[in-house]
Amino acid sequence: MKHFLESFCLLGAFLHVCTQHTVPASEFQLEGDYLIGGLFHIHDDTAFKQYFRFLCKPLTFSNYRRFQMIRFSVEQVNNSTNLLPNVSLGYDIFDHCSDTQNFPGVLKLISANGSIQPWSDKQSVLSKVIAVVGPFTSTQSLTVAPLLMVNLVPMVNYATSTSVFSNKAKYPSFLRTLPSNLNMIDVIVRILQKFNWRWVAFLNSDDDYGNDGLNLFTQRIKDTEICLPYSKGLSDSTNYTQTFKQMEAKQINVIIVFALENNVEPLIESAMLLNVTNKVWIAGDAWALNKKLPKMKGIKNIGTVLGVAEPVVTIPGFSDFLHSSKAQLHCKYAEQDTFCNQKCNCSCMNPEDIFAADPSYSFAIYSAIYAIAHALHNTLRCGADKCDSNITVYPYIVLAELRKSNFTLVNNSIQFDDNGNLKQGSYSVVFWNNSGDAQEIGFYQFNSEVHFFVDDSKIEWHTNGEVPTSLCSPECPAGYIKKRNGIYECCFDCEICANGTYVNITESPYTCLKCKDIEWSEEGSTSCNLRAVEYISATDIVATLVFVAACAFVGMTLAMSVLFSVNYNTPVVRSAGGPMCFLILGCLSLSNLSVFFHFGKPTVPLCTLRYLPFLLFYTICLACFVVRSFQIVCIFKIAAKIPKLHSWWVKYNGQWLVIVVAFVIQAIFLVIGYSCKPPSPYNETSWYPDKIILSCDISLQASTASVILLLSICTLCFIFSYMGKNLPKNYNEAKAITFCLLLLILTWIIFATECMLYRGKYIQLLSALAVLSSLYSFLFWYFLPKCFIILFQPHKNTQQYFQGLIQNYTKTISQ
């Protein structure tokens, strides 16, 4: 609306001047049953801006080609036997060389019998034309659109791609026969992603078209790795020297130019003049098929030019029309002063030059005319040979039929969506080759899905065949994450991922992700590997050897029990503890059960029984040896000095009382500890990065009381046995117990040290060996010497021998 208000102020002056002219027949007008209005950008308005006159600069071949395309399309429809039979289309075309000059023409188009009724009912308003094609630029369309929207006059545009026109609340009667900027920006972004260009500049014409492209591009790259460190709106006052210096300072190698031809040509000429080289230029559809620039001397020095353009569609009969049209006119209107913006100044333009001009938007114009013709065909309910001439054609009815368009034109489907945009469309990706032609190297098609393809083998890169790069920071090596350096995501430092982590560049290139517990990775990894699961199975050779040793232990304890039972009344057996020997041997055998639960895949029962039998029954064994040590000291020392204590001990069977109390306390501790936090399978993952060691998690808190009780009993045993170290040499059981305890303590100190230094699968083997060592120490160094005396030194297993030892020790003490 801003454009409308600014220009409306000058409406009166122009309308007065323009209505003073008589409009003769010319290329701009054709009589017909129904008229189509045309707003075409034939001349440039620079002269008007400068001199404030109704004069325009000479027309260009490409603009004139589009002008001739609408004339050809209408003539072809009129010559058709299938479309609008016996109905002729006419046109009234105005040269939109200036926004302000355009108003008289627009008002003329929407008038009926020389009057305009903007506040009348839309369903009863007639206008001179049934639809309007054009204008060319987005700014021009924004200026004109409010006038046409008032009475829902269809505005079918062939070149305005600005996304704002998709808003049907503001522009209800606007349709277009080319894709919108949204599609074109998507093509450009896909090209950038195809060649991994992430550090780009965006130069746009400083108008509605260019600014819309910049906004869409900024939104489109938000979720990508593309950064836009530089953007600039181009106008007549642009300082190109400064622009290129700023881009060079940022080391930008890819430049997107989303601008009209009148902005692009001075930009490219300045680039050649300023010796800007080795860049990649991405052209928008407004200049991708430009015929002048690719053939300029030195154009290859600026680098490689890629472009996004409408596919060039060969329209049958257009060339013949140009030749016949120019032959008929003979330029008789070249010097005639006609309506202010219906003046050609064609200067006898060559048909070959017109046909060879930039074909951009030609098919869009062709499609627009045919879309209007099909809509009128359906509005008039045309049959095979005639139409209903009694139907009054209102613009809003034509608009409704236009929205329902569904036909094929030169193998292209023409349909509109709810926003007035094409449901299906396509772009060509072109490359300016060394011959000065725009060579098609790929395509972009959209309907329900998007299809994109670029054959980069056809591109002759300016970098000796290699794809140019445009990055703020080079890509990180595999296994490195990006640490942003500055405000742009494209600028970063690289940091290697540590052991046990990896980087997934597709999901999170800025974070080292931790591997799962069952996985591992080396430094600088892009994925995790499954850890090797290790444990000693029950069938392993070392497990078999331990089982053999455990079974041998049980066999030896059984043999010793039999030997002691046969020689139960001998002094050696009685001095070893008598009936207590069998309790010790039995508990040692039961403690031995723990060894069998050290191997195999850990489970809750296996972990529970790994140390439970040992802790419980080995406590009884140590309690027995505490009692034996105490009794030895008591017999030889305390009995003589504290007789009452000795008599109390004998009277109440103190030795059995101590053993039972120790057993009950240990049992209670184990039940409480294992109930609160029972042992469970545990995966050791912290010790080895590439392995999982299956073991058992035995809580220190749950087993602390049991271990402390065991250590306390062991300490008492050691104290009492050490006190009896000076007893008779051949009768010194205390020395044997002391030695066994020293072996026991040394064994578990070694095992504890191993646990701190090593956590591999063989730690369970070491634990089993520690248990066996604890058991074998008492078997070998306490019971085996007594078996040796019984079997091989029977003379020492007599009452007389033992009494002699005691008498000699008593004499020694008394002396």
- Mean pLDDT, range 366-386, rounded to an integer: 95
What is the rounded CA–CA span in Å between residue 122 and residue 576?
Answer: 123
pLDDT tens string 167-179: 999 999 999 999 9
pLDDT of residue 814: 54
Positive or negative, the CA dihedral 765, 767, 768, 770 is: positive
- Mean pLDDT, range 7-27, rounded to an integer: 42
352 vs 133: which has the higher pLDDT: 133
Strands (E), 127-262: 129-133, 155-157, 174-176, 199-205, 227-234, 254-258
Report whether 407 contacts 370 (CB < 8 A): yes
Assign 469 to helix, strand or coil. Answer: coil
Q: Does the structure show a pLDDT above 70 at 347? A: no
pLDDT tens string 143-162: 889 888 888 999 999 999 99
pLDDT of residue 345: 57
DSSP-assigned beta bridge partners for residue 155: 132, 174
pLDDT of residue 20: 37
Kindly give, in sequence order, each residue whose CB lies less than 8 Å from that of residue 503, ignoring residues fewer than 6 positions away. Answer: 479, 480, 481, 497, 509, 511, 512, 513, 525, 526
Assign 260 to helix, strand or coil. Answer: coil
pLDDT tens string 705-748: 999 999 999 988 888 777 766 655 545 677 788 888 899 999 99
pLDDT of residue 269: 93
What is the rounded CA–CA span in Å between residue 362 and residue 315?
Answer: 9
pLDDT of residue 209: 95
Chain-centroid distance of CA 779 in Å reads 66
pLDDT tens string 463-495: 888 999 999 999 899 999 999 888 898 899 999
Q: Does the structure show a pLDDT above 90 at 115? A: no
pLDDT of residue 113: 65
pLDDT tens string 19-73: 333 334 478 889 999 999 999 877 765 444 443 344 444 567 888 899 999 999 9
Class of domain 541-810: mainly alpha
pLDDT tens string 397-421: 999 999 999 999 999 999 999 999 9
Backbone angle region of 489, left / alpha / beta, with phi > 0 → left and psi within -120 to 50 → alpha: alpha
- Mean pLDDT, range 534-546, rounded to an integer: 93
Give me the helix-helix angle, 604-633 and 733-757, nearest 10°.
Answer: 150
Q: Which band of pLDDT confidence, cut at 50, 70 and 90, is reported for residue 120? A: low
Q: Does the structure show a pLDDT above 80 at 8? A: no
Class of domain 181-309+426-458: alpha beta
Q: Does the structure show a pLDDT above 60 at 658? A: yes
**Fold exhibited by the domain 29-114+126-178+317-322+344-423:** Rossmann fold (3.40.50)
Q: Which band of pLDDT confidence, cut at 50, 70 and 90, is reported for residue 636? A: low
Q: Which of 30-44, 119-133, 240-254 has the lowest mean pLDDT?
A: 119-133
pLDDT tens string 200-240: 999 999 999 999 999 999 999 998 989 999 999 999 999 99
